[in-house]
């Protein structure tokens, strides 16, 4: 996901940058000018952060395909992924790395994309 500053946010669904022993997923910043990457966010509520978009207020909204922040277990279809939930919508403050849960719809099964409509 391109940032206005010329860097990119990279959503890694299976990263374990904090050494939790299980892939939680993480969001990194990539600078193409230097090739450097830096951790932006890795939250214990993550399971598979997959794609984001900018909100009007500058925050990044993103979906996590298998997050289960409310502890409901397998998704409404009874399938789940890796014994987790149906997914959730989060926000990310790019400057601070603060992550917030915005929505955990019971109807979600495996959301993989969020886009801002024109």
DSSP state string for 32-53: TTTTEEEEEE--TT-S-EEEEE
Residue-wise pLDDT for 33-82, tens only, equals 999 999 999 999 998 999 999 998 989 999 999 899 998 877 666 666 66
Q: What pLDDT score was predicted for residue 7? A: 97
Q: How far apart are CA 25 and CA 66, in angstroms?
A: 10
Report percent pLDDT > 90 for the chain: 66
Q: How far apart are CA 109 and CA 67, in angstroms?
A: 10
Query: Does the pTM exceed 0.95?
Result: no
Using the predicted structure, report yes or no on whether residue 26 has a pLDDT greater than 80.
yes
73-79 CB contacts, 8 Å cutoff, 24+ apart: 75/108, 75/109, 75/110, 76/106, 76/107, 76/108, 76/109, 77/109, 79/109
């Amino acid at each position: 996901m391109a940032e206005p500053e010329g860097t990119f946010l990279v959503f890694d669904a299976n990263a374990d940058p904090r050494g939790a022993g299980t892939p939680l997923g993480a969001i990194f910043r990539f600078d193409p000018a230097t090739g450097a990457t830096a951790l932006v966010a890795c939250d214990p509520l993550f399971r598979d952060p997959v794609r984001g978009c900018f909100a009007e207020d500058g925050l990044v909204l993103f979906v996590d395909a298998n997050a289960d922040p409310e502890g409901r277990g397998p998704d409404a279809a009874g399938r789940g992924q890796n014994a987790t939930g149906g997914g959730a919508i989060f926000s990310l403050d790019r400057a601070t790395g603060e992550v917030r849960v915005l929505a955990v719809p019971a109807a979600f099964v495996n959301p993989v994309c969020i886009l801002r409509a024109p």
